[in-house]
Structure 1
Amino acid sequence: MRKRVIYLFVSILLSIPVDFHAWIVTGQEEDVTSIHANSVIVDSHIDTLMKVVDPDTWLPVTDIGKETNFEVDIPKMQAAGLSVPFFAAFTSGFYDNNPRSISNTLASINALYWIEKNNTDQLEVTSTFTEIQAAIEKGKIAAVPTIEGAYSLEEHNAIELIRQYDDLGITAIGFTWNYSNALGEGADRVYNDPVSTPSGDGLTELGVEVAEEMNRIGMMIDVSHMAERTFWDVMEVSKAPVIATHSGVNALRNHPRNLTDEQLLALAENGGVVGIVFYPQFLTDDREAMVSDIVDHIDYAVNLIGIDHVALGSDYDGAELPNDLKDASELYKITEELIERDYSVKDIKKILGANTLRVLRDVEKAADPDQMNKGKSPTIIPAYEMGEMMDSRTPLFTAKLEQEEGHAIDIASLRIIVDGIPYEPEFNEQSSLVSLQMNDVLKERFHVVTVEAADETGRINRETRIVWME
């Protein structure tokens, strides 16, 4: 049955109760339109933010709230019923230039918040299972920020910076792109230097530390783009389920970016999920592919590891697509092919989104319940907004602290963290202003700044913003 239907986003709301398990009920749907429209559709890897930012300035310039020539924009997601897109902040790493990798990563994250600001009625940045549910119930697209290529994380900044990324809503991090880095070995098993120096095997000590911290704060580890040894090291270290956001099945297409049967079985034993990629090079030995090739990979993975561990991870706007899938608006063709292969409604809903959301929920449950002993007091009011331009390369960062009557601010706890580096700020008790004058010139354009304070009970509150400079 070949139905070319434009699915109104609001139709996806008709059967979404609060209970997670109700998101995958079988129901009585009989055709592609009703099954697709009544599913919560998640895509665990989309590269559109690369196209939103200007390649020279890294400032956001294209608002995807309107029709674009991209494979993903808000109208296309609404047409597809794509309610939970994972938007990747991608960087391939800049050789021997960690500050530039930080800036590049933050530029994409900033672009997602800029998109939200321009389209508040249609899209909301979300990072937790509860926030995703709430956004969908309000009729909004729940945009999930992720990172592809953690080249911004090095020995001097990794743990503090990953906490700042957590503040910004980053839900999953892929340690490597194809190149290796301070966390581990990438799929190409070389560093991004002028001579492509071969890299060491597997996860580094810093990579182990980062994986453990991500488990602690409830952030998903993305194992796509890892060298196989790095994958196995992560599986040994991680106490929480992991996700392969956009990978294929190696048994069907022998490629370093695809997962072997042994890897897929380990992923299932871990409780994780693989998002099947749409990129023809990972699907078939031919130069071209069709939607049926995507579902061939889904079939193989389901038969090998079970229906609960397979999902979608398109790589929209980051790779070519099958010939019969022009953009995100045609996602219904995946549903159509699954129906033709006699998948049940319940199982289709799992593949379309429920499996990925289940892993997110399980990762959150496995996290440290205290998560840095976070609190809500004192209230921190930075003097700058998210995405604000600073007028100096040696800026003065300030924030006002407001405490409830009868409670004291622990002055010794005050910190301002810039790009993963903590500083001891000044504090004016009369004005309740905390401030940090940067003496070192911030050479790159984008930076992330966190103001952290605690009350006398030790409960910590943080406010984190991305800022940029001319």
Structure 2
Amino acid sequence: MKIFDAHCDVLSKLLENPELDFVHERHRLDVTLDRMVEANIGVQNFAIYLSERMSRQFQFVLDSIDLFCQRILSNPQMRFVRSKNDLRRVAAEGSIGAMLSLEGVDALQENLANVRILFYLGVRSVGITWNYANWAADGVLEPRRGGLTELGRNLVKECNRIGMILDVSHLSERGFWELAELSNKPFIASHSNVYAVRQHPRNLNDEQIKSIISSEGVMGITFVSPFVDAVQPVAIDKLLPHIDRVCSLGGSRHLGLGSDFDGIKEWMIGLEHAGKYGQLVELLQKHYSESDVKRFVYGNWYDFYSKHLPDGQAN
């Protein structure tokens, strides 16, 4: 069964540690080409995430895109997905689709030209914040719990205009609701879980989840152990209450996966790296119909992006 993973941080590790081998590294990378093939990953979204020492320099965003091209797209199994036609092509030919997203707009330096440049370069979604405040909005751990700034509101409007998909994972709750009111396009939460199941600030409450559903967006269940359960270590079956809750809110067609592999410090038992997706599929098949499982692990993200990526020729 094919997998569509909406978020991993392997680019950040490659940027910080150029010696790492994306193809074969099994000690310091969760996502490698070998493991992607092993797990039958059909599409992987690679996040551009910058550490604090790099976070305000646009050059490091460009360096991350260069790494993506040189170290990931250079492998013949990989195909860059920037358009609807690209997505259809990877599905038809059985190659692995690679997408680009930005996690936190700090490095855009309050300049909307930079978000347009990233769109020209193939970035297709933007998370406005990481956990703390930047020039556009507050993140979920910012103590003042503010929302969007005026510049952040302009960013939302510009992303809507050019077709850049907005990602609310990490955004403060007030920022979430301001974005939901302002945006005229569907939005996503690439890697967030359910607050009603695990009361963690990075998780979304029921009303937020229903808002994503009503916008025709998708929510990616993530494998970060503290977001899943309070008692550590966390077994893989603890994901089921999160999935059940989203489905109970009407989200069975708005639910996907957003692993956060390579951004994880505490791994779930049975999901220690991308090669373990088969165990998740087997678990889901014991609790849901085959058609539901296919939608959860691949189809819902595929359907969303096949509607909301730009038109264009396959590469």
**How high is the TM-score relative to the length of structure 2?**
0.92
Instruction: Write the distance in 1 (CA, Å) between the matches of 2:299 and 2:66.
Output: 28
**Which residue is equivalent to 1:73?**
32
Q: CA deviation at 1:92?
A: 4.8
Deviations 1:282-306 (A, max 9, x none): 0111121111112221111111233
Question: C-alpha separation between the residues in 2 aligned to 1:113 and 1:84?
Answer: 16
8 Å contact from structure 1 (residues 63, 118) kept in 2:
no
Q: Counterpart of 2:203 in structure 1: which amino acid?
A: N
Highest CA radius of gyration, 1 or 2? 1
Partner of 1:53: 15
- Aligned with residue 88 of structure 1, among 47, 54, 66: 47
Q: C-alpha distance in 1, partners of 2:72/2:88?
A: 17
Which of these residues, 272, 283, 293, is aligned with residue 326 of structure 1? 272
Partner of residue 112 from structure 1, selected from 62, 68, 80: 68
Aligned position for 1:441:
none
User: Structure 2: how far apart are the matches of 1:165 and 1:93?
Assistant: 20
Given residue 265 of structure 1, which amino acid in structure 2 is its aligned partner? Answer: K
CA–CA separation in structure 1 for the residues paired with 2:284 and 2:26? 29
Bigger RCO (CA 8 Å, 6+ sep): 2
2:255 paired with 1:310: yes
Distance 2:272 2:291 in 1: 27
- Deviation of the 1:355 alpha carbon: 1.1
What corresponds to 2:153 in structure 1?
Answer: 208
Name the structure where strand makes up a greater proportion of residues.
1
What residue in structure 1 maps to residue 20 of structure 2? 62
Return the alpha-carbon distance in structure 1 between the equivalents of residues 94 and 108 of structure 2. 36
CA distance, structure 2, for counterparts of residue 214 and residue 325 of structure 1: 34
Cα distance change on mapping 1:238 and 1:223 into 2, 3 Å: same
Deviation at 1:74, TM superposition (A): 0.6
Out of 162, 173, 176, which is 2:126 matched to? 173
> Which of 222, 227, 237 is the equivalent residue of 2:182?
237
Q: Secondary structure at the match of 2:249?
A: helix
Question: Which residue of structure 2 aligns with residue 185 of structure 1?
Answer: 138
Q: Is the 8 A contact 1:65 1:118 kept in 2?
A: no
Q: Which residue of 1 aligns with 2:303?
A: 358
| 1:174 and 1:221 in contact (8 A); partners too | yes
Alignment partner of 1:145 is 2:107: no
Summarize deviations over 1:154-199 as a string: whole Å, max 9, x none: 33x2x21111100111011100001111111111115xxxxxxx5x
The 8 Å contact of residues 91 and 151 in structure 1, kept in 2 or not, is answered as no
1:150–1:176 CA contact under 8 A, matched in 2: yes
1:436 aligned partner: none
| Counterpart residue number, 1:277 | 222
Equivalent residue of 1:306, what SS? Answer: coil
CA distance in 1, matches of 2:235, 2:142: 30
Name the aligned partner's letter for residue 115 of structure 1.
R
Q: CA shift at 1:259, angstroms? A: 0.1
Q: Deviations over 1:254-295 (max 9, x none)?
A: 111000011011111111111001111001111211111122
CA deviation after TM superposition for structure 1 residue 117, in Å: 5.0
More helix by share: 2
- Of 195, 200, 212, the residue aligned with 1:250 is 195
Shift of 1:46: 0.5
Opposite residue 43 of structure 2, the aligned amino acid is V
Q: After the TM superposition, which segments of 4 or more aligned residues of structure 1 sit over 4 Å from their partners?
A: 92-95
Count of residues in correspondence between the two structures:
310
Task: Decide whether the 8 Å contact of 1:84 with 1:143 is kept in 2.
Answer: yes
Q: Which residue of 2 aligns with 1:440?
A: none
Per-residue deviation at 1:230? Answer: 0.5
Q: Tell me, which stretches of 5 or more residues in structure 2 are unaligned? A: none
What is the alpha-carbon distance in structure 1 between the residues aligned to residue 116 and residue 207 of structure 2?
A: 32
Q: Secondary structure at the match of 2:262?
A: coil
Cα distance change, pair 364–137 in 1 and its aligned pair in 2 (3 A): closer
Shift of 1:357: 2.2
Matched, 1:264 2:209: yes
Residue 19 of structure 1: aligned partner: none
- Please state whether the residue corresponding to 1:146 is helix, strand or coil: strand
